[in-house]
């Protein structure tokens, strides 16, 4: 292509920073491999054979396709396009995140968005490549160096029970009182779900709890609490309406469960995909506008333990 455009082996060699002999050898080797003559050579001019003209058009098409593909790849860094596949916890996804994803889809019509609801692992791999995931939203992470984390928001957690249960079993006044109550526990939500932690007037306090009802989703724990089965510790967004309606009662006002960060996790790459960063930025703003969470913008890069 360079020889034909320059009309000269000497000029083409100068443009490519190679010797004239090497350029001539490359063209000759190409003709030998194809089994046809591409160029008619004379001491003063070059001209394409019919085969050379067809092969030149083929080569130019390949270069156009490469340039088009590279522009398309570059465009994905400038605006969100393609597919976005997000994994989130069941309760958070069903009760809260789905509204945010729908709102995001409305403002990003060029994106195809998939929201998967499952229990994200406390320890272990998210299997991004195997599951085709672009991002995982979670409340705890394995902290691997191959991953990048962006904090989305700080989520409050609340200890609550129904008025019916409290009328039967009494109301706890301190975390230590929980040992005598039926508690509704997360199943494999954290490393040790039978230990509830609080920030009290005199510092951190822990309470060993027990119960006969367990679930791996906060939505089921909410229903169990509404049914009067016991006391539960769940994210505020799950029971906020119930607390406002009086169907559930916020307990231990002097002791608050430590808030937990909602974190976006995605594989480390030289440049963050535009679709991923666009969703992270949107979700940070949406959480502030739609929910009474305490929000803190920050980016944390996971490091090896």
Total tally of structural domains belonging to the chain: 3
Task: Please report whether residue 42 resides in a domain.
Answer: yes
Task: Please report whether residue 59 resides in a domain.
Answer: yes
Residue 265 near residue 141 (C-beta atoms within 8 A):
yes
Rounded to an integer, the average pLDDT of 4-12 is 88
Task: Please report whether residue 255 resides in a domain.
Answer: no
pLDDT tens string 21-40: 999 999 999 999 999 999 99
Same domain, 100 and 57: no
Same domain, 245 and 165: yes
Task: Please report whether residue 49 resides in a domain.
Answer: yes
**What average pLDDT does the chain have?**
84
For residue 295, the model assigns a pLDDT of 37
Same domain, 136 and 273: yes
Half-sphere exposure of 185 (CA within 13 A, CB side): 22
Same domain, 107 and 70: no
Would you place residue 148 in the very low, low, confident or very high pLDDT band (cuts 50, 70, 90)?
Answer: confident
Q: What is the CATH number of the domain that holds 175?
A: 3.40.190.10
Would you place residue 303 in the very low, low, confident or very high pLDDT band (cuts 50, 70, 90)?
Answer: very low
Q: With pLDDT > 90 as the criterion, what percentage of the chain qualifies?
A: 37
Would you place residue 121 in the very low, low, confident or very high pLDDT band (cuts 50, 70, 90)?
Answer: low
Q: What is the CATH number of the domain that holds 48?
A: 1.10.10.10
Rounded to an integer, the average pLDDT of 256-275 is 86
Same domain, 110 and 226: no
Rounded to an integer, the average pLDDT of 98-113 is 88
CA 95 to CA 236: how far, in whole Å? Answer: 11
Same domain, 150 and 161: no
**Considering 78, 99, 119, which residue would you say is the last residue of a domain?**
78
Rounded to an integer, the average pLDDT of 117-126 is 64
Task: Please report whether residue 39 resides in a domain.
Answer: yes
Angle at 237 between CA 233 and CA 243, to 5 degrees: 75
Same domain, 24 and 49: yes
Task: Please report whether residue 28 resides in a domain.
Answer: yes
Same domain, 113 and 144: yes
Same domain, 92 and 145: yes
Q: Which domain holds residue 103?
A: 82-156+260-301
pLDDT tens string 37-74: 999 988 778 889 999 999 999 998 898 888 877 766 66
For residue 300, the model assigns a pLDDT of 39
For residue 143, the model assigns a pLDDT of 60
Same domain, 86 and 74: no
pLDDT tens string 217-260: 888 999 999 999 999 999 888 898 999 999 999 999 899 998 88
CA 12 to CA 10: how far, in whole Å? Answer: 6
């Amino acid at each position: 292509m360079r020889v034909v455009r320059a009309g000269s082996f000497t000029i083409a060699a100068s443009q490519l920073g190679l010797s004239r002999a090497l350029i001539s050898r490359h063209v000759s080797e190409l003709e030998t491999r194809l089994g046809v003559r591409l160029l008619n050579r004379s001491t003063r001019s070059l001209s394409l054979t019919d085969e050379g003209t067809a092969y030149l058009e083929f080569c130019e098409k390949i270069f156009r396709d490469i340039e088009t593909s590279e522009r398309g790849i570059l465009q994905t860094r400038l605006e969100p396009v393609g597919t976005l596949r997000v994994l989130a916890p069941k309760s958070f996804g069903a009760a809260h995140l789905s509204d945010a994803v729908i709102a995001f889809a409305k403002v990003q019509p060029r994106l195809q968005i998939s929201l998967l609801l499952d229990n994200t692992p406390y320890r272990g791999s998210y299997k991004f490549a195997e599951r085709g995931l672009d991002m995982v939203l979670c409340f705890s992470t394995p902290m691997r160096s191959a991953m990048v984390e962006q904090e989305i928001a700080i989520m409050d957690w609340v200890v609550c029970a129904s008025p019916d249960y409290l009328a039967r079993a009494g109301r706890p006044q301190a975390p230590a009182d929980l040992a005598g109550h039926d508690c509704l526990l997360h199943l494999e939500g954290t490393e040790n779900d039978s230990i509830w932690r609080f920030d009290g007037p005199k510092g951190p306090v822990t309470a060993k709890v027990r119960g006969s009802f367990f679930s791996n989703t906060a939505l089921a724990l909410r229903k169990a609490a509404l049914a009067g089965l016991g006391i539960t510790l769940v994210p505020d967004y799950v029971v906020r309406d119930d607390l406002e309606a009086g169907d559930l009662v916020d307990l231990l006002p002097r002791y608050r469960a430590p808030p937990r960060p909602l974190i976006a996790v995605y594989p480390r790459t030289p440049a963050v995909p535009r679709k991923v960063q666009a969703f992270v930025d949107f979700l940070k703003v949406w959480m502030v506008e739609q929910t009474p969470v305490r929000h803190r913008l920050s980016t944390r890069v996971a490091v090896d333990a």
